[in-house]
Structure 1
Amino acid sequence: MRLTSVLVFASMNVCIKLAERGGASVSEILFFRQFGACLLVAAVIAAGPGLASVATTRLPAHVLRAVVGLTAMAFTFNGIVALPLAEATTIGFTVPIFATVLGALVLREPTGWHRWAAVATGFVGVLIVAQPSGSHFPLWGAGCALAGAFGTATVTILLRRIGRTESALTTVFWFSALSVLPLSLLYAGAAQAHPVATWFCLAGVGGLGGIAQIAMTSSLRLGPVSVVVPMDYSSLLWATLFGWLVFDVLPASATWLGAPIIVASGLYIVWREHRRRRVLTEEATAGSG
């Protein structure tokens, strides 16, 4: 399910770039992303446990998650539009790095020198890919991609708190539903006529985004985070392939050098987090015994 979500998200990113090239604004793309996902998730819930299952007493927490999530998505989409797919995807791999920093600062999670070293190494990889002194792609796009990654990492911190009482499906539903109203107002001012191909791409963004969201949520229900999250790095393979086949663009030489550094740092952070949680579980089990 996780590998499926990775492939579908990569396909959605292709639709985002094609829609923008076809004349659609990022505001329109955001609206269709969330509107399509909302319809699909609502249909899945209605056909399964029923809409009553997503009732919540933590609406303010969901509103905050929606605000942060939408902001992160807007930055991410601008990064996808401005950068080649492989570079946008590579910079997106900084989410575990930012999550480690936020976990230490906000949640006061113990973070040893191993993970701080991985954080520093990951940012070195970002500097290699972005090449601030170079001009192989817009720094505006790199900045948007980094801001999107930071926002996504912030969402993971919020989800750790929300997840204590809310199911994953409830969280996904409220994020989609709460996004539609403000995006509808934004869309009303940005809506314009498009060629048929662009409308298909916009529909693809919404449909594929919803499918990928459900597959990703299902993967977390079926397997531990330490097992499924590393599979996300396979998205670089799809981004490179789609970038070459659809846009005739291959990653720059700096990306080939920096991407492995970012991926390695992210995998190491995930592994250290897995080890830490396993030790805490064993200590709790021994204590209760």
Structure 2
Amino acid sequence: MPDTLTPHRPGLAIALKLSAVALLTCMFAMVKAATAEVPPGEAVFFRSLFAIPVILLWLVKRGELRSGLVTHNIRGHFLRGALGTAAMGLNFGAVSILPLPEVTAIGYAMPIFTLILSALMLGERIRLIRISAVVLGLVGVLIMLWPRIAGGGPSEEGATLGAMLALGSALMGAMVQIHIRQLVQTEHPAAVVFYFSVSASLLALLTVPFGWVMPSGEMLALLVGAGLIGGVGQALMTSSYRYGPASMLASYDYSSMIFAIILGYFWFSELPTLVMLSGAALVILGNVVVILRERQLGIERQRARAAGQPKT
């Protein structure tokens, strides 16, 4: 039986989270390099398929193999897989066109979209602080997208498509987050992780008629490596939350911008523009406001529960 009660170890939690973010950013860089030769759907297949053995080994190590394979909601897993595969495919399509730091920055819009969808789909109440965060984040997204949308010239057509793909990926990712909130009410988190990789591998095969190619040895190594590294990153990301609360670790997601800038510069000779960084800063600021608000609400709920407990 897995040990579900783990000690609060913030140092280990942060180290795991940063390692996961670094590996997942490397995975995207490898996909960007590979999609110069193979289509995004094929990259999704390799990313998902070769993550499965890593996830299985991780579940065995945690003693959660049985719970990771048992499901009571196969339809829910299929829907999560469809949404997640679409989000991944759009993101891989975007990164094949745009600089790595730019796709990373636009992806920061996902928590903002999640907040909006939570209000629209789940009826969650959004008060002034969260509304302000949403407005701030959307302004930042508009700033990042404007040079691509308003370019107008022939050379900007591909970039405009890339920006739309990245934005669509962020929106689909937000829908995934909403669905996972409902799915984990009946399903073990290990099952959610495992069945997503399985369903994404199968769904990606539907893109075979749209131009899959036989990759060269170098591209094949990149694709397989992306799957393995992505699986390790996913495992480390999940493990980090065993040793620290989500409210503490959420802000470390933005370290991906540092890794993306470094990899973009040294691997692809890419440099972020001032406009992109300015927009990203606003999106990050909006997300940080939400994180701080959630942390405050969590503290208030803990105090309320403590106040309601009988004194001994």
Q: TM-score, normalised by structure 1?
A: 0.93
Q: Deviations over 1:39-81 (max 9, x none)?
A: 2112322454253222111222111111111111111111111
**Aligned residue number for residue 134 of structure 1:** 151
Q: Which structure 2 residues correspond to residues 1-289 of structure 1 after superposition, within 5 A?
A: 1-21=16-36, 23-49=37-63, 51-54=65-68, 55-131=70-146, 132-134=149-151, 138-187=159-208, 190-289=211-310
Q: Deviations over 1:95-131 (max 9, x none)?
A: 1101111111122222111111111111111111112
Q: Contact 2:51–2:197 at 8 Å: present in 1 too?
A: yes
SS at match of 2:124: coil
| 5+ residue gaps, structure 1 | none
Coordinate RMSD, CA, aligned = 1.8
Q: Contact 2:46–2:201 at 8 Å: present in 1 too?
A: no
Displacement of 1:187 = 4.0
SS at match of 2:214: coil
Displacement of 1:252 = 1.3
SS at match of 1:166: coil
Q: Contact 2:44–2:201 at 8 Å: present in 1 too?
A: no
Displacement of 1:16 = 0.8
SS at match of 1:221: coil
One-letter amino acid of the structure 1 residue matched with residue 112 of structure 2: I
Cα distance in 1 for partners of 2:139, 2:34 equals: 33
Q: Deviations over 1:210-249 (max 9, x none)?
A: 1111111111222111111110000000111111101111
Q: Contact 1:96–1:270 at 8 Å: present in 2 too?
A: no
Q: Deviations over 1:156-193 (max 9, x none)?
A: 11111222233322210111122222223434764422
SS at match of 1:281: helix
Q: 1:63 to 1:194 in 2, by over 3 A?
A: closer
| 5+ residue gaps, structure 2 | 1-15
Cα distance in 2 for partners of 1:67, 1:216 equals: 22
Q: 1:206 to 1:166 in 2, by over 3 A?
A: same
Cα distance in 2 for partners of 1:217, 1:160 equals: 15
SS at match of 2:67: helix
Q: Contact 2:114–2:174 at 8 Å: present in 1 too?
A: yes
Cα distance in 1 for partners of 2:18, 2:78 equals: 29
Q: Contact 2:90–2:169 at 8 Å: present in 1 too?
A: yes
One-letter amino acid of the structure 2 residue matched with residue 134 of structure 1: G
Q: 1:12 to 1:162 in 2, by over 3 A?
A: same
Cα distance in 1 for partners of 2:218, 2:245 equals: 39
SS at match of 2:71: coil
Q: Contact 1:99–1:153 at 8 Å: present in 2 too?
A: yes
SS at match of 1:82: coil
Q: 1:286 to 1:50 in 2, by over 3 A?
A: closer
Q: Contact 1:99–1:157 at 8 Å: present in 2 too?
A: yes
Cα distance in 1 for partners of 2:306, 2:80 equals: 33
Count of residues in Structure 1 that have an aligned counterpart in Structure 2: 288
Q: Contact 1:169–1:217 at 8 Å: present in 2 too?
A: no
SS at match of 2:96: helix
SS at match of 2:63: coil
**Aligned residue number for residue 8 of structure 2:** none
